[in-house]
Amino acid sequence: MKRVTMVFVIFCALLLTFGCMQRSRVADLTIMASKNISTLEGAKEMGVFEGEDCRSAWSGQMPNQEEALDIAVEKGGGNAMIDAVIYFKPAICIFDETCWEVKGTVIKTRDMFGELDDSNYIKDVMISPNGKKYIALKKRSTVDLDYNARHYDLIIMVK
- Residues 69 and 128 grouped into a single domain: no
Nearest CA to 17 among 25, 26, 5, 9?
Answer: 9
Beta bridge partners of 80: 107
pLDDT at 112 over 50: no
Span 97-118, mean pLDDT?
Answer: 76
User: What is the Cα–Cα distance from 158 to 156, expressed in whole angstroms?
Assistant: 6
Q: Report yes or no: 23 and 87 within 8 Å, Cβ to Cβ.
A: yes
- Residues 65 and 130 grouped into a single domain: no
- Residues 24 and 92 grouped into a single domain: yes
Query: Tell me: the pLDDT tens digits for 51-87?
Result: 999 998 788 888 999 999 999 999 999 889 999 999 9
Q: Report yes or no: 8 and 16 within 8 Å, Cβ to Cβ.
A: no
- Residues 54 and 77 grouped into a single domain: yes
Residue 82 lies inside a defined structural domain of this protein: yes
What does DSSP assign to residue 60? T
**What is the domain-level CATH number for residue 52?**
3.30.110
Is the model's pTM score more than 0.75? no
Q: Report yes or no: 102 and 68 within 8 Å, Cβ to Cβ.
A: yes
Give the rounded percent of residues in the chain with a pLDDT score beyond 70: 81
